[in-house]
Amino acid sequence: MDKFEPWSEPRAREIISRHAKREGAVLPMLHDVQHAFGYVPEPVIPMIAEALNISRAEVHGTFTFYHDFRHEPAGKHVLKFCRAEACQAAGGDHLCARAEQKLGMKIGETTADHRVTFEPIYCLGLCSVAPSAMLDGKIYGRLDEQRVDALVSEAQR
């Protein structure tokens, strides 16, 4: 079931060192760390800052600016609901609330069993078929209550 490596400082240092001489290395470092561990562990921020001789604040600012970087591991399935204006205008708020009710949690949370992470996303580029969502990288448009129920059921498997 686990697709990520367990956290390891030596492994993180190895990943960081691969990009240390690269211009604009912060993003590739963060991406590769998250790809390896499933999230960006807190000790990585000062490690990147030290390797690039920049402030922790710069690294932290980059980390927090991009919504796809995680502070903790995601669930086995990741359900993202578009929260942009077009999706909201097309009924996305109601459908998001329905998904929250079906999942038994609020958007931005992960189930206790780590089966599902439910996250906001701010535009999938599907405004013409709003509201939309993404489950494990697959995009769904023209959502209605039945399609939301089916997505939630699939995520809970």
**pLDDT reported for residue 3:** 79
Residue 140, beta-bridge partner list? 133
Is 1 a residue whose pLDDT tops 50?
no
What confidence score (pLDDT) does residue 42 get?
97
pTM of the model: 0.82
Give residue 37's identity as a one-letter amino acid code. F
pLDDT at 6 over 50: yes
The CATH number of 77-155, from 3.40.47.10, 2.40.50.140, 3.40.30.10, 3.20.20.70, is 3.40.30.10
Bridge-based pairing of strands 109-110 and 116-121 is antiparallel
Q: Which 8-state DSSP code applies to residue 21? A: T
Range name among 3-7, 53-57, 95-99, 103-107 with the lowest pLDDT average: 3-7
pLDDT computed for residue 49 by the predictor: 98
Cα(95)–Cα(6) distance, rounded to whole angstroms? 35
Provide the pLDDT for residue 149: 98
What is the mean pLDDT of the segment spanning 16-20?
97
What are the C-alpha distances in Å from 18 to residues 34, 42, 61, 64, 93?
Answer: 15, 19, 22, 22, 43
Report the C-alpha gap between 62 and 67 in whole angstroms. 10
So what's the pLDDT on residue 2? 57
Mean pLDDT of the chain: 95
The domains of the chain are located at: 9-65, 77-155
Beta strand 77-82 pairing with 133-135: antiparallel
- pLDDT at site 82: 97
**Taking Cα atoms as reference points, which of 25, 135, 127 lies closest to residue 79?**
135
